[in-house]
Structure 1
Amino acid sequence: MLSRFVFPSALLLSCFSSQQTPTTYSQQGVLTAHGQLSPELRARIERDRQTAIEINDLAARIRSEADAGALVDKIAEVFADALPPSWMTRGIRERLAHAEYEAVSDSSRLIPEQRIADVWNEYVREIGAPDDALVTTAELYNLRDADFAAAQFFWSRGHNIWAVSTIYALGPGGKMAEGARPIEALRILYDLDMRFDNLRGARERIRRGVLASEELRKRTENQSQAPSVQSTFTVRVSAGFDRNPVHAAELRYIQQHGPYVLNGVVEKLFDELFPPTD
């Protein structure tokens, strides 16, 4: 993928699809001579924290299509410097907002996991990625459960856009619904494309017959029974050598066909994920 995030970012507003996230503070010169955060960085952290809270609140109280539009517009604003202008058009934002409102208002309009899997698998086959990159609905469910559990865990420890948990569709008992909200679906595609080790983690949990949320709950209960024992929640993070089988396939595809052809593929898949209402 172009800049290694064409698919999730071109599928518009994966509110988590940018490599230039507002919550990454690795720039030089952010510390004072005494090793403390500079006033500029402290202000930026606080601004991003408030933005995350606003997005979390917007996603939690969608009562109209205008509310959904406000959520989508806010996400577009946050990632304006990272998303291609052609994927931030009013028409695309309105389509996403319409789908988000419908999914919140009527659970039958949630995006089925099978449709998400079909769209992703079509992309994998088109770019010639190995079969290891194909995904099943069981893997998607386990992955979504882990994303939601991690979001809740980290939100309680600091508000940032990566820990917004109100974008997820829940069913009875607070468990994941069988379908996803549109913005959640984009987050899933981001994970599949950019955090492939998260899918590997889901496969390992399926092999063991567990969910990440269950593991976290048990650890929390154990900690409450033995407060002296420190509990941790591990999230896979890839670093160094790129073990993602999709990236090499994307690069080959771009070299063979060019980025514009790949963008055309992505546009087609976007239409399949969010069919036009006209």
Structure 2
Amino acid sequence: MIVLWLILALAFTDPQQSTPTPDEQATMQRAQLEHERHRQAVVQLNELAGRIHSEADALAFVDGIADIFADSLPAAWAGPSIRQRVAHAEYEAISDPLRLIPEQRIADVWNEYVREIGAPEEAVVNAAEIHSMRDADYASGQAMWTRGMNESIWTMPNFYATGPDGKISDGCRAIEALRVIYDLDRTFDNLRGARDRLRKGIVASDEIKKHLKNADPNQKTGFRVLVRAELRESTNPLRPAEYRYMREHGLDNFNQLLERLFVELFPSE
């Protein structure tokens, strides 16, 4: 399943490759430049996520996240009112641990969505499953980030709510709550992996720590992460239900459902 995400293995040999053509070299250079631009933007966002001291800081962080997803985020979900509401919840969660978004609330909102669109019972979650997903995401992402293996929006560690023991808290900051919803919808195998770990009594962060204990912290080259991503749409029970709901009720009603659930996730005071 998707974790032992990080059973980090050493792979010292690279496959033999033919010399790229000039066009291929140009394409590779453009890709490298774009990757570096993205990496630098994410590094700055991660630094900002770790030093939010005001609602203005939180809004700058939310704006930065929205900019990363500008090409795929619908305009209706990137407007000022949405950003400000998320930024307010982000700052509240940082300034007062009692204002963290409970995992149970995330589960309740998600389960309401599942039932509204008529998705299978498999898609219903509980707080323990969400916690296991978050534990795996944070521990694996942090391990990759700190080793310089993968500095991306998906491994950025500073937006997680953590406790004195260095592990994730039982509640989320606002951006992380949205990340959980995204993962439940888009990478359903993450939930399947969490369920498998819970059945076996496995805590991903403990497994990752154990596997990293004897690893060379300076080792980057040849470090490989065994991750199984969800590649087939048919493996995700949400897709057919979402398409059916939009076909039967229309896109406007679907967006109204999302708006209602958004307000439930980030209620006004």
Query: What is the match of residue 78 of structure 2?
Result: 88
- Choose which of 158, 169, 173 in structure 1 pairs with 2:165: 173
Alpha-carbon deviation of 1:240? 3.3
Query: What is the match of residue 21 of structure 1?
Result: none
8 Å CA contact 1:99–1:182 kept in 2: the answer is yes
Separation in 2 of the partners of 1:127 and 1:31? Answer: 49
One-letter amino acid of the counterpart of residue 139, structure 2: A
> CA separation of 1:41/1:233 partners in 2, compared to 1, >3 Å: closer, same or farther?
closer
The answer to whether structure 1 residue 160 and structure 2 residue 152 are counterparts is yes
One-letter amino acid of the counterpart of residue 121, structure 2: D
One-letter amino acid of the counterpart of residue 127, structure 1: I
- SS of the residue corresponding to residue 213 of structure 2 reads helix
8 Å CA contact 1:100–1:182 kept in 2: the answer is yes
Alpha-carbon deviation of 1:32? 3.8
One-letter amino acid of the counterpart of residue 269, structure 1: L
The answer to whether structure 1 residue 117 and structure 2 residue 107 are counterparts is yes
8 Å CA contact 2:109–2:261 kept in 1: the answer is yes
The answer to whether structure 1 residue 185 and structure 2 residue 166 are counterparts is no
Query: What is the match of residue 67 of structure 2?
Result: 77
Query: Structure 2 regions of 5+ residues with no counterpart?
Result: 1-19
- Choose which of 26, 29, 33 in structure 2 pairs with 1:39: 29
Alpha-carbon deviation of 1:141? 0.5
One-letter amino acid of the counterpart of residue 211, structure 2: R
Query: Root-mean-square deviation (CA), in Å?
Result: 2.0
One-letter amino acid of the counterpart of residue 251, structure 1: Y
The alignment covers a number of residue pairs equal to: 244
Query: What is the match of residue 8 of structure 2?
Result: none
> Normalized against structure 1, the TM-score is what?
0.83
8 Å CA contact 1:201–1:236 kept in 2: the answer is no
Query: What is the match of residue 189 of structure 2?
Result: 197
One-letter amino acid of the counterpart of residue 77, structure 1: D
8 Å CA contact 1:65–1:101 kept in 2: the answer is yes
Separation in 1 of the partners of 2:225 and 2:31? Answer: 27
Query: What is the match of residue 144 of structure 1?
Result: 134
Deviation digits for residues 73-99 of structure 1 (CA, Å, limit 9, x no counterpart): 111222222111111111111111111
Alpha-carbon deviation of 1:56? 0.5
5 Å-filtered alignment, 1:1-278, equals: 32-33=22-23, 35=25, 38-155=28-145, 156-223=148-215, 233-240=225-232, 242-277=234-269
Separation in 1 of the partners of 2:132 and 2:191? Answer: 9
Separation in 1 of the partners of 2:132 and 2:223? Answer: 22
Report which structure shows greater RCO (CA 8 Å, sep ≥6).
Answer: 2
- SS of the residue corresponding to residue 71 of structure 2 reads coil
Deviation digits for residues 140-169 of structure 1 (CA, Å, limit 9, x no counterpart): 100000110121122131311111111100
Greater displacement, 156-165 / 100-109: 156-165
Separation in 2 of the partners of 1:274 and 1:31? Answer: 52
8 Å CA contact 2:233–2:239 kept in 1: the answer is no
Separation in 2 of the partners of 1:114 and 1:84? Answer: 27
Alpha-carbon deviation of 1:201? 0.3
8 Å CA contact 1:168–1:184 kept in 2: the answer is yes
One-letter amino acid of the counterpart of residue 235, structure 1: V
8 Å CA contact 1:58–1:71 kept in 2: the answer is yes
One-letter amino acid of the counterpart of residue 268, structure 1: R
> Normalized against structure 2, the TM-score is what?
0.85
